[in-house]
Amino acid sequence: MAFPRTHHNILSLMTGTALAAGLLTSPAAAVAQAAEHPGDALHWGPCPKDVLNNPAYHVQCTTFKVPLDYRKPGDKKITIMMSRIKATGHSRGIILNNPGGPGGSALNMWSWMVPTDAGPLHKHFDLISVQPRGLQHATPLKSCVKPTVPEIESPNRDEKKNPQKAFAGAKEKATKAVSKFQRLVGNVDPKDTATKVKEKAQAEYERCVKDYQTLFDQVTTENTVRDFDMARQYLGEQKINYYGASYGTWLGAVYATIFPEHTGRFVLDSAVDPSGIWTNDFGNQGDMQRRRMYEMFDFIAAHDDLYHLGDTPLKVYTKWYRIIEKEMHGPGTPRLSAPPAQIGDMPPEFRHNVQLYLKGYNLARPVADRIERAIRAWQVPSTKQEHNLWDLTGAAFVSRSVWPVVAAYMQKPRPKPLTKEEKDEQVISANVFMAVTCNEDAVKPSPANLPATVAAYFSGEDFFTLKNLIVTSGMMCPGIAPTTTPVQVTGGYLTIRPVVLQSVYDTQTPYSGGVKMANAMNAYFVKTEGGDHGVYVRHNPAAWKLVNDYYLKDPVVTRTSLPYATVEKMVVKLDAQK
């Protein structure tokens, strides 16, 4: 569970959240050799190109080694990257952060927080982001692709008539084939037979699978927070302060439990339910997300003078649905029932009997929608991978500041295919998401829900009902047994109480879970109006002041509630968006 950054590309997961990052450059291309042991010098340098680097803040990156398996600290090591924005004044220490996920890139998080909410912190703290293990620039959990030995094409008609031309053509084709294969498995001995080459390919694939499984088993929350503590040691700090959102709150709570003596001021924004790791946490999102969708349609309709997409929620929904269907089509299209019709939706010929029409329409429409979903369940799925309206809608779940962006897109839809780098990013992030959630799932799934899921799908249940059933049935972790038990978090040994910020209608981390996290961590609990996921990172000056004062002044919070964040820009020009 993570919140999206509107300055970045959006990554959508089944959990309905979005995260950004690009995966363009390897760490070695940008950063010097990784430090091997705490106490070794850290070699800070330019960050990879995909790490948003605002020149005004001089973001730097470095890498360091940590144990792959902390139970065997002397065995294999992996490389982790972290970024830094140095304090402009005298540094009072460090603040680490994490945007959530699992699977969200952290390296560029401070770059977009400092210009708004975290600006006052920049003067007094070194701002650190440690990339979670398994993600790009932190020993990525890349999927293995079984290589196929490229065949050398036969001579064409012209080459058969001209032996010299045939020889040149055969040489060129062989060179291309060898080059292609070398990209897959490394150097190829020209003396090897085709059988030998195939054997090398199979051996390389089997090695990849073995390495993948070894790393997969070690991508857990507990190991990631131990990486955080290794970063603390490499930086030579006695304590860390921390800001974590969504899944990042779980990382923060686990760190504070394992390392209370090194825990400073911790802000847990939009906290996960510590008793629901992970099946229950992800299986309880659908109802609130559905509510949020209708709230967005209401908002756009209420501002029809700005967006011209319809003056009723039903009219807005109808345009939204037509775009979604055109861009995605097939059984994977996220479908939900239309909002109730209002007087403004009535055809003129029925205005003489308003109540009868509305009652009849609103009774019949859900049935019709469900029948349509049941029919479309048999369609051939779309294979397109694009930035599209559903991509933006996923971000709109978590912040109403994205609703004007959705409206702007609906005015002029412009789907954009994912680049190869973005596709690779999605695969790696999804692998990390699966590793964390499946390795430490403490709530047993309900396989009995599997037949119900299939029945619900073919009988036309909506997207959000299906999502809840899929998660609770265990389909997210097919055949994967947990490798660890989640830490029982507690704040009982902390000298400074953490802060938990929680929105009443949060779509990703329900309000009740935040209350449980605050109780477990003995934290100050601050209730926030509205449904934004991520309180401090929205346009909410009251939240900015509360959090910044907590870090910069006495770590005591007396305020117990915050207002709903405002929508800063009601009209957005997408051509200016990146």
In angstroms, rounded to a whole number, what is the distance separating the alpha carbons of residues 568 and 78? 42
pLDDT tens figures, 279-293: 888 888 999 999 999
Q: Which two tokens mark 284?
A: 């309880």
pLDDT at 16: 34
**Rounded distance, CA 68 to CA 144, Å?**
19
Residues in a beta bridge with 19: 11
Q: How many other CB atoms are there within 10 angstroms of residue 105's CB atom?
A: 32
| Cβ pair 528, 562 in contact under 8 A | yes
Name residue 83's beta-bridge partners: 61, 129
Phi/psi of residue 267, each to 5°? -110, 125
Q: Parallel, antiparallel, or unpaired: how do β-strands 126-130 and 77-85 relate?
A: antiparallel
Three-class DSSP category at 410? helix
Coil/strand/helix, residue 265? strand
* CA–CA distance, 222 with 483 (Å, rounded to integer): 12
Q: What is the pLDDT of residue 335?
A: 83
- Counting Cα atoms < 13 Å in the Cβ hemisphere of 509 gives 33
Nearest by Cα to 492 from 526, 514, 520, 524 = 520
Residues whose CB is less than 8 angstroms from the CB of residue 459 and which lie 6 or more positions away in sequence, other chains included: 370, 374
Cα 387 to Cα 394: distance, rounded to the nearest angstrom: 11
Q: Which residue has the higher pLDDT, 512 or 195?
A: 512
pLDDT in tens, 29-53: 445 699 999 999 999 999 998 887 6
pLDDT score recorded for residue 251: 98
Q: What's the DSSP call for residue 331?
A: T
Please, which residues bridge with residue 128 across strands? 84, 96
Burial class (CB in 10 A: 0-12, 13-18, 19+), 80: buried
How confident is the model over 64-121, as pLDDT tens digits?
999 999 999 999 999 999 999 999 999 999 999 999 999 999 999 999 999 888 899 9
What pLDDT is stored for residue 14 in this prediction? 34
Task: Estimate to the nearest angstrom the gap between the alpha carbon of 215 and the chain centroid.
Answer: 20
Q: Which residue do the tokens 């990052």 mark?
A: 21
Mean pLDDT of 196-200: 79
The yes-or-no verdict on residue 478 having pLDDT over 60 is yes
Token digits for 340?
């109730």
Highest mean pLDDT among 21-30, 227-236, 332-341, 351-360: 227-236
Q: Which residues contact 62 (CB under 8 A, 6 or more apart)?
A: 31, 32, 34, 35, 42, 43, 44, 45, 81, 82, 84
Q: In 3D, which of 77, 118, 78 has the Cα closest to residue 97?
A: 118
pLDDT given for residue 128 in this prediction: 98
**pLDDT band at residue 227 using 50, 70 and 90 as cut-offs:** very high
CA torsion sign for 567, 568, 569, 570 is positive
Beta bridge partners of 242: 96, 266
In Å, how far are 152, 172, 178, 306 from 149, measured between CA atoms?
10, 17, 9, 57
Q: Which residues pair with 240 in a beta bridge?
A: 263
Sign of CA dihedral 140, 146, 149, 150: negative
**Contact indicator for 498, 547 with CB cutoff of 8 Å:** no
Which amino acid is located at 424 in the chain? D
User: How are the residues of the chain apportioned to helix, strand and coil, as percentages rounded to the nearest 5?
Assistant: 45, 10, 45
Q: Is residue 55 helix, strand or coil?
A: helix
pLDDT at 193: 64
Q: Which two tokens stand for residue 512?
A: 């009740």
Q: What is the pLDDT of residue 195?
A: 75
Q: Which residues contact 383 (CB under 8 A, 6 or more apart)?
A: none
What's the mean pLDDT when you consider all of the chain? 87
